[in-house]
Amino acid sequence: NPFNPTTSLKLSLKNKAQVQIQVFDIMGRLVQTLANNEQWQSGTHEVQFDASRLASGMYFARTQILESGKADQTQVTKLMLIK
């Protein structure tokens, strides 16, 4: 999944949910928040990650989903930025 300098992250929701998407560098530092506990409707969503100001390397996108009445779901995606 190498990209330069932007990539898109897709997310499909079965139900309305609260979504948080954050990108971290290899040292675990937060570099960008793509969605900050936003309420999203069911369906397919796509967010853009613009890494043009970041150095080449590995990054991790953490997606957290909280559907009403259900436990948190967390997914981590590895991203490789090559400039």
pLDDT-based confidence at 29, cuts 50/70/90? Answer: very high
Contact criterion met (CB below 8 Å) for 45 and 8: no
Please give the average per-residue pLDDT across 1-17, as a whole number.
Answer: 93
Q: Is the pLDDT of residue 1 over 80?
A: no
pLDDT mean over 31-46: 96
Pick from 47, 62, 48, 50: nearest CA to 11: 47
Residue 51, strand partner residues: none
pLDDT tens-digit readout, 41-81 = 999 999 999 999 999 999 999 999 998 767 689 999 999 99
pTM, entire model: 0.91
CA 40 – CA 31 distance, rounded (Å): 23
